[in-house]
Amino acid sequence: MAGKWTNWVGNQSFKYASFAQPSSEKEVVKAVKKALEKKQNIRVMATGHSFTPIVETDGLLLDLEKISGIKAVDPYKQRAFVGSGTPISALGDPLWEKGLALRNQGDIDSQRIAGAISTGTHGSGTEFGSFSSILRSCRIVTGTGEVVEINEKTPDLLHAAQVSVGMLGVMVGMELQVTKKYKLREHIDHEPFSDVMRNFHERVKKNRNFSFFWFPSEESAALYNIELPPGEKATDTCHVKVFNEARESEQVSDVPKRRVDRSYRIYPMFYSPNFHELEYFIPLERSVDCINEMREYMLKNLPLSIFPLEIRSCGSEDGFLSSNYKRETLVVSVSGMPGVDYWPYLREVDRILGRYDARVHWGKLHFLTKQQLHDRYPKAEKFIKIRKQFDPKGVFLNDHLRPLFAQ
C-alpha cells in the first residue's frame, strides 16, 4: 500500500511505495525479503520526532508499533528486554513495578526506544551516556534478510548498532541496561545569565542533571511553553533545571518547580510543534567560551534567533557514531521558526560550533559533510565497514544518508 508520511513537526515528508506493520521478527524478515525481491529501499519509522530526513524512503516503510512492550526483566543484572517499537513513555510504570527505571531521560518521552537509540537521544548529566549507551544486545534483520544477534561478546558490532540511524537494518528485540528505581527532586529557578555562568562547571558536576534555557528575547520563554516568575523579564536570563536524586522515603510533591516524584514523571516537558531544531555537541571543557560566543552571536541576530538556547551536558560513551564518543560533551541546541528562512542563521551557528570540533545530533538539523564526519568521528570508517557488511547493497540508505555513509 503506497502512501505519504510526514514527521511530527511537519518539515519532512515523502511518498513511499509500500507499508508494513509486522508483529513479529518472522514478519519483519518476510517484509524485508519481499522488498528486496521488488528492489525497494527500506526504512523504519518510529514516532517521527526527528527533524532530519532519516526516515525517508520511496520503497518500503516499516512501522514496528506492534513489536512493543517489556518482554522480560533480569532484576539482578538490571536489564530489560523490550520490543523496539516500545514508546519510552510505556517503560516507566512497568519497570517501576519491578523495582527498576531508566537511568536518564530527555526532554520528552514520546519517542520509541529504537528511534531514541538510533539517533543517540540523551538527557543531561555527565554521569550518563545517551539512550544508545544502555543498549546491551539486539536482534537486527539485515539488508540481506538475515537475522543477526549483536551483544557484548561482539563489541564492535554493538558499538556500531548503538547509534546506527537505521543503517544496519531493522532492530527488533533489544536488551537495555536499566537501574534501580529512584525518585527525583526538581529545582527550577529563573537566574541572570552571568550568575549561571559564574560556576557553570561546578554546577554541571555537582548535580545529577543540570541544564538551562537561555532566553535571547522577551518572546523566547513562551515559544517553549516556559512560564516566567511574575514580573520577571526574560531577555538574557535563564530557566535553570536541576534534578537530584531524592531519598526513597521523601514525600511526593507537586509544588511547581519543586516537585518530587518517580524519576520518569519528572523528566518530560511539553513542546508544541513550532520549532525546527539544530543540536551540536562540543568538548565539555570548552563550554564557557562556546556559550559566551553563542550568546553574543544570537543577540546580534535577533529577531531570527528568538528561540531559547538550550544547554545540557552528556557523558562519554562508546557508540561509533555517538556525539559523545569517548568524550564528555556540552550539548548546544538552537531553533528556527517554521516559515522563516532560518538557514543562514543556522549555517552561521554551524560555522561557530564547527570551530569547537562539533559533532551533530543525527535527528536534528545539521550541515555535516563527509570530510567533517571522518575528522570528528574517529570510528566513522569502522562504522561504514560494518554497515557494508550488514547491508552490502545499501537498501537501508537514503538520499540524506548515502553521501555520508555509502563509502
Ligand X SMILES: Cc1cc2nc3c(=O)[nH]c(=O)nc-3n(C[C@H](O)[C@H](O)[C@H](O)COP(=O)(O)OP(=O)(O)OC[C@H]3O[C@@H](n4cnc5c(N)ncnc54)[C@H](O)[C@@H]3O)c2cc1C
Give the interface with ligand X as residue ranges (CB under 6 A). 8-9, 43-50, 54-55, 64, 84, 106-108, 111-112, 114-116, 118-119, 121-122, 165-166, 170-171, 271, 361, 363
Closest to 80 (Cα-Cα) out of 173, 176, 180: 176
CB of residue 23 to ligand X, shortest distance in Å: 13
CB of residue 117 to ligand X, shortest distance in Å: 8
CB of residue 406 to ligand X, shortest distance in Å: 16
Q: Does an H or E element contain 260, and which?
A: strand 260-262
Q: Are 302 and 384 in contact (CB under 8 A)?
A: no
List of long-range contacts for 204-207, beta carbons under 8 Å, 24+ apart: 204/126, 204/284, 204/287, 204/313, 205/126, 207/125, 207/242, 207/243, 207/244
Q: Supply φ then ψ for residue 387, to 5 degrees.
A: -55, -45
Sheet architecture: strand order including 260-262: 260-262, 183-192, 237-246, 209-215, 309-314, 329-336, 276-283, 359-360
Q: Are 325 and 319 in contact (CB under 8 A)?
A: yes
Select 177 or 235, whichever has its Cβ closest to ligand X.
177
Select 198 or 402, whichever has its Cβ closest to ligand X.
402
CB of residue 194 to ligand X, shortest distance in Å: 26
Which residues, including other chains, have CB under 8 Å from residue 282's CB and lie 6 or more apart? 290, 329, 330, 332, 353, 356, 357, 358, 359
Select 53 or 283, whichever has its Cβ closest to ligand X.
53
Beta pairing partners, 276: 336
CB of residue 65 to ligand X, shortest distance in Å: 10
Q: Supply φ then ψ for residue 157, to 5 degrees.
A: -65, -40
CB of residue 312 to ligand X, shortest distance in Å: 8
The grid cell for 176 is 537495555
Closest to 216 (Cα-Cα) out of 192, 236, 187: 236
Within 113-216, strands assigned E span 135-141, 147-150, 170-177, 179-180, 183-192, 209-215
Select 73 or 170, whichever has its Cβ closest to ligand X.
170
Select 13 or 253, whichever has its Cβ closest to ligand X.
13
Sheet architecture: strand order including 18-20: 18-20, 60-63, 42-45
Select 236 or 268, whichever has its Cβ closest to ligand X.
268
Select 122 or 379, whichever has its Cβ closest to ligand X.
122
Q: Cα separation of 396 and 27, whole Å? A: 18
Q: What burial class does residue 196 get, using C-beta atoms within 10 Å of its C-beta: 0-12 exposed, 13-18 middle, 19+ buried?
A: buried
CB of residue 165 to ligand X, shortest distance in Å: 5
CB of residue 402 to ligand X, shortest distance in Å: 13
CB of residue 249 to ligand X, shortest distance in Å: 30
Q: Are 309 and 216 in contact (CB under 8 A)?
A: yes
CB of residue 107 to ligand X, shortest distance in Å: 3
Select 192 or 403, whichever has its Cβ closest to ligand X.
403
Select 7 or 78, whichever has its Cβ closest to ligand X.
7
Select 78 or 111, whichever has its Cβ closest to ligand X.
111
